[in-house]
Each structure stands twice: as C-alpha cells, then as structure tokens.
Amino acid sequence: MILTRGARVTGAVLSAVLALMVAGWIVRDVRAAGDPLDLLRYWAGYMDARPEEPPATLQTDAVLLVVHVCAIFAALRSSVAASTLVVTGLVTCVLRLPGIWTIGASWTDDRYGDELRTRALVGTFVALAAGLALIVTGAAGRRQPADSYARLPTRPGQGAGVTTFLVFGASGAVMIAWEVRQFLTLPSALYPDWFTGGRLVPTGLTAAPPGWSSLALAALSLVVAWTALLRAVHARPLGMIVAGFLLVSGATGIARAFHHRMTERFGDLVAEQQLIVLTSFLFAFAGAAGLLALARRGFEDANGRDRGYGGYGYPQTDAQGYSPSQADARGPGYGHPPSGSPGPGYPQPGAGYGHPPSGGAGSPPPPASPPPGW
C-alpha cells in the first residue's frame, strides 16, 4: 500500500501547522527567558535554572518540533509516509490531551496570564484536531500501487528488529519500574498531580504532566519493541519518534548529572541517585541505538511479504509473477534451468558425479532428491 498524492500534500500541510505552533511557543519562551541558555537549563532540569518568566514548554516540545518537521518531508517523499502520518498524529494527541484540563486549572493562575492560557487552550484543541486529521489521512489515503515501479513501504531488517526489541524493551521496563517506585513512595496527596498536573507538581503550560509523559513513553517503547521484533512496517517511523524522546531524555539527564557533579561523586551517592544516573545513560544509548538501527532502509513490503534486494539494488523476485509458459517464451535465465532439464537435486547430463552419461549402457536411475529439511 502506498499513499496518494493528495494525502501526502494534506499530511505535509497538517504537519507544517503543528510544527509552526510548537515553534511559536518555543520562540515565546526564548523571549520570556531572556537568554536561550536559561531555557535550555530549564528544559534539562537544572535546579539552579531561574528564567525571568516560567516557560510554557518543556523538552518534549522541542522533540515534537523535530518530529513534525521530519513528518513534512516524510509525507512528501518517504515510502512509509502513511505510517509516519498515523504515528505522528497518535503521539501528538497523546501528549497534547492533558492540556484540556491542565491549562484551565486554577493552579496556573499564578504562573500564566489569562491571555496566554487562552492561546494555549485554543492551540491544544487545534493540535488535537490536526493530530486526528493526520491519523485519518494516513489511514484512509492508502491505495494499491498502479505499477511495479512504485516505492513500497519498508519493514525493518531482522538485525534492526532484534536490536530495537532489546534496547526499547529494556527502556520501557525501566520506566515502568520507576513509576511503580513513585506509586510506592510518593505521598497520596501528591500522586494524582503526578499524572494529571496540579499545584504540587507544576508543569509547562503546553506540556503533559511528568507521570503521564513517562507512562506514555513506556507504553510506546514496549509497542515498538514488540512490533519491531515482528518487523511491522509502522515500527520504523514510530520507533524513530520514540528513540528521539529517549535520546533527549537521556542526554538532558546526563547533562544534569555532570552539571551537579553527580558523576564525580558517583560512589558517594545513595543507591537511588546512582540508578537515576545510570537510567539516563541507558535512555541515551537506547535512543541512539534505535535511531541507527531504524534509520536504515529495510525491506520493501509487497502485500505483507518482504521483497529483498540483490546486487545493484534490483529486486530478486518478479513483481508480476512467474509461470512456466513465460519461462519457455523467454528462455532460461536468472538461475532457472532450460525447459525440460532435470529439476533440482538431479545431475545434469554429462555432468559426472561419478555416473556415466545419461542413456549409457548400464546407467543407473538418477538419485532421488533429499527429503525436505536435509
């Protein structure tokens, strides 16, 4: 299945709208912070970061900007454009959905003005509508290719699937383990705010609460791990999106550890802080490994089957099918014996193998083919 030209253009326009919205909020935060470095320190979670005004965005917004920009080019040129649009819309809806109840909550009155909150709420509904439209466009805009020269969607290779399964499965399991720890240790009054946002756990105006983001990323990581092992087509675009979030989360965690000199006194830290530092390195490694494994072009998918590539990039299988009559008309070629010659497992006439030529006196019958599986 490929994406129609109209669906590609529609998906690119919707992705451009989402990218412009995120870019506008980031520009607003750069101006409000006074110094771009202060905004970066705030995104990284430095405890000494003190922007002049509370930013409306977090590091997830920066990743979403890159995702939407990449979706524009993927919609216009990529063979996995349909899957890219669907997963981009899904991730956008998941991360923007909490804004419906967090932006208008009373705890935001002291942090943001009414005009800014109104803009954020309208932008949230626009983002959700655009995300849903991306899902519909990617799902409904597919069709069968008109000829055999169309670029078909590609599946991840076997090695890429196993690599993705290992690193993303480990990352998802670690995130779930941390959420179980939060459930067991956080006060009962604070735990709901961890997922839905609140005065005790404030977050960015356009960003999702930390618990919501963590569980969403954990679920997506496990989905990518399983579908990549099965070599599903959508595992490539969804895996690269999740890898971006893991890489940025791990990189900012590592920067935070170096900034607060946690790596220098790693042996003196308590076990929980040591695990936090190691988790950042795990996420950074998993994100980088996932991007390297899934960025490579896999195998073309022809009606659910792989169409491998031989030398010089030409497919080894005949896309239009093969029949004995066609072989007789075209003559032998591409590894097929001439019509009427013995099949596989039989010696060719005069080929030797310790037997006299076919038809010779006392020549024994040709040996039988070995049973399957030998």
Which tokens go with 44? 């990284």
pLDDT of 301 reads: 55
Q: Which domain covers residue 134, as residue numbers? A: 2-307
- The answer to whether the beta carbons of residues 72 and 20 sit under 8 Å apart is no
Total number of residues shown for the chain? 374
- The answer to whether the beta carbons of residues 334 and 346 sit under 8 Å apart is no
pLDDT of 370 reads: 42
Buried b (16+ CB within 10 A) or exposed e, 262-291: beeeeeeeeeeeebbbebbebbbbbbbbbb
CA 250, 252, 256, 259 dihedral sign is positive
- The answer to whether the beta carbons of residues 252 and 62 sit under 8 Å apart is no
Q: How many CA atoms lie within 13 A of 114 on its CB side?
A: 0
Q: What is the mean pLDDT of residues 17-45?
A: 91
pLDDT band of 189, cuts 50, 70, 90: confident
Neighbours of 314 (CB within 10 A): 7
Reported as a single tens digit per residue, the pLDDT across 307-350 is: 443 333 334 444 444 444 444 444 444 444 444 444 444 444 44
Residue 345 lies in a domain: no
Indicate the pTM of the whole model.
0.79
Better-predicted residue by pLDDT, 45 or 355: 45
Q: How many domains does the chain have?
A: 1
CA 286 to CA 282: how far, in whole Å?
Answer: 6
CA 364 to CA 48: how far, in whole Å?
Answer: 90
Residue type at 159 in one-letter notation: G
Q: Residue 51: is its pLDDT beyond 90?
A: no
Better-predicted residue by pLDDT, 152 or 363: 152
Reported as a single tens digit per residue, the pLDDT across 167-177 is: 999 999 999 99
Share above pLDDT 70 across residues of the chain, in percent, rounded to a whole number: 78
Reported as a single tens digit per residue, the pLDDT across 55-92 is: 899 999 999 999 999 999 999 988 889 999 999 999 99
* Gyration radius from the chain CA atoms: 28
Residue 369 lies in a domain: no
Residue 318 lies in a domain: no
pLDDT of 320 reads: 44
Q: Across the chain, what does the average pLDDT equal?
A: 81
Residue 281 lies in a domain: yes
Residue 371 lies in a domain: no
Taking alpha carbons only, the member of 63, 89, 85, 47 closest to residue 261 is 47
Of 86-95, 259-268, 293-302, where does the model show the most confidence?
86-95
CA 19 to CA 38: how far, in whole Å?
Answer: 23
Residue 100 lies in a domain: yes
- The answer to whether the beta carbons of residues 260 and 47 sit under 8 Å apart is yes
Residue 365 lies in a domain: no
Q: Residue 24: is its pLDDT beyond 60?
A: yes
Share above pLDDT 90 across residues of the chain, in percent, rounded to a whole number: 53
Q: Residue 225: is its pLDDT beyond 70?
A: yes
Which tokens go with 117? 């909150």
Residue 363 lies in a domain: no
HEC profile of the chain: CEECHHHHHHHHHHHHHHHHHHHHHHHHHHHHHCCHHHHHHHHHCCCCCCCCCCCCCCHHHHHHHHHHHHHHHHHHHCCCHHHHHHHHHHHHHHHHCCHHHHCCCHHHCCCCCHHHHHHHHHHHHHHHHHHHHHHHHHHHCEECCCCCCCCCCEECCHHHHHHHHHHHHHHHHHHHHHHHHHHHHCCCCCHHHHHHCCCCCCCCCCCCCHHHHHHHHHHHHHHHHHHHHCCCCCHHHHHHHHHHHHHHHHHHHHHHHHHCCCCCCHHHCCHHHHHHHHHHHHHHHHHHHHHHHHHCCCEEEECCEEECECHHHCECCCCCCCCHHHHHHHCCCCCCCCCCCCCCCCCCCCCCCCCCCCCCCCCCCCCCCCCCCC
Residue 92, CA distances (Å) to 58, 183, 198, 244, 338 in order? 14, 26, 22, 14, 57
Minimum mean pLDDT range among 11-15, 51-55, 116-120: 51-55
Q: Residue 358: is its pLDDT beyond 70?
A: no
Q: Residue 361: is its pLDDT beyond 60?
A: no
